[in-house]
């Protein structure tokens, strides 16, 4: 088919232990999915899950040096880190029952839901959409995807983020308010999930600011670590 423009190449995430890549379709994110973080953001910790999105090309991958280089974004003075377990969807569907959700998971990765917190807070205050605070360029640094059949214990994994060697966020995925299967069930009731979708499943407590020069090290037991330098 002739196009009037050259279509962009798909965003392609490396699959650990393979020469193949995972092509990204959409990025869904869950808000406030660890109780202590929900409380630090002003909630009760018991709300139903809610969702927002980032554009697929917000994904930022590591360079040949193994580090993802993230330019400090425009318009903000309060860039926050949110370490998250990311689920890669390998089989689409809608109204997926939690009991079937595991069949739809291709694999997992360590991700950062980078947030222009000052802009997000201003939009919240005004009742406006969060896109400018959440869906900006390079706002989704992502490590390599590990296939689900190569991971054990993902539901009880340690999830942690260090900045310049100091611990900032530390929890376990068992502390998710809505677990992976429940998240897929609720998400697929609202949207038809497709192979290639990514789901950022929420961040534990400890979100805070980073500045240019900071080195972030995110890790989840059993997955490839994510290293990001703010430049
Ligand atoms: Mn988040």
31-42 pLDDT per residue, tens: 989 988 778 878
> Is 107 part of any domain?
yes
30 neighbors 49 (Cβ within 8 angstroms): yes
Say how many Å lie between the CA of residue 49 and the centre of ligand 1.
Answer: 12
Q: In whole angstroms, what is the distance from residue 188 CA to residue 193 CA?
A: 6
Q: In whole angstroms, what is the distance from residue 64 CA to residue 152 CA?
A: 28
> Is 193 part of any domain?
yes
> Is 6 part of any domain?
no
> Is 10 part of any domain?
no
CATH number of the domain residue 181 falls in: 3.90.850.10
98-142 pLDDT per residue, tens: 999 999 999 999 999 999 999 999 999 999 999 999 999 999 999
Print the SS3 string covering the chain. Answer: CCCCCCCCCCCEEEECCCCCEEECCCEEEEECCEHHHHHHCCCCCCCCCEEEEECHHHEECCCCCCCEEECCCCCCCCEECCEEEEEEECCCECCCCHHHHHHHEEEEEEEECCEEHHHHHHHHHHCCCCHHHHCCCCCEEECCEEEHHHCCCHHHCEEEEEECCEEEEEEEHHHECCCHHHHHHHHHHHCCECCCCEEECCCCCCCCECCCCCEEEEEECCCCCEEEEEC
> Is 84 part of any domain?
yes
Number of domains in the chain: 1
Say how many Å lie between the CA of residue 119 and the centre of ligand 1.
Answer: 15
Say how many Å lie between the CA of residue 6 and the centre of ligand 1.
Answer: 33
60-100 pLDDT per residue, tens: 999 999 999 999 999 999 999 999 999 999 999 999 999 99
High-pLDDT (> 70) share of the chain, %: 99
> Is 189 part of any domain?
yes
Q: Which is it for strands 146-147 and 140-141: parallel, antiparallel or unpaired?
A: unpaired
> Is 130 part of any domain?
yes
**What's the distance, CA 21 to chain centroid?**
18
> Is 5 part of any domain?
no
Say how many Å lie between the CA of residue 51 and the centre of ligand 1.
Answer: 10
Say how many Å lie between the CA of residue 156 and the centre of ligand 1.
Answer: 19
Q: Is the pLDDT of residue 45 over 70?
A: no
Domain that holds residue 221: 22-230
Say how many Å lie between the CA of residue 10 and the centre of ligand 1.
Answer: 23
């Amino acid at each position: 088919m002739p196009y009037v423009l050259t279509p962009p190449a798909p965003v392609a995430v490396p699959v650990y232990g393979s020469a193949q890549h995972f092509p990204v379709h959409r990025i869904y994110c869950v808000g406030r999915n660890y109780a202590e973080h929900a409380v630090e953001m002003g909630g009760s910790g018991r709300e139903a899950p809610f969702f927002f999105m980032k554009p697929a090309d917000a994904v930022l991958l590591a360079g040949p040096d193994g580090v993802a280089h993230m330019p400090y974004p425009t318009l903000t003075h309060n860039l926050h880190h949110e370490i998250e377990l990311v689920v890669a969807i390998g089989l689409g569907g809608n109204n997926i029952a939690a009991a079937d959700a595991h069949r739809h998971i291709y694999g997992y990765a360590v991700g950062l839901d980078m947030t222009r917190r000052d802009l997000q807070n201003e939009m919240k205050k005004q009742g406006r959409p969060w896109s400018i605070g959440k869906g900006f360029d390079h706002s989704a640094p992502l490590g390599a995807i590990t296939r689900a059949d190569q991971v054990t214990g993902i539901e009880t994994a340690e999830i942690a983020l260090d900045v310049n060697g100091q611990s900032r966020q530390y929890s376990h995925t068992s502390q998710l308010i809505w677990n992976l299967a429940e998240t897929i069930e609720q998400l697929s009731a609202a949207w038809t999930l497709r192979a290639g979708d990514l789901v950022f499943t929420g961040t534990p407590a400890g979100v805070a600011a980073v500045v240019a020069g900071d080195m972030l090290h995110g890790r989840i037991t059993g997955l490839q670590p994510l290293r990001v330098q703010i430049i």
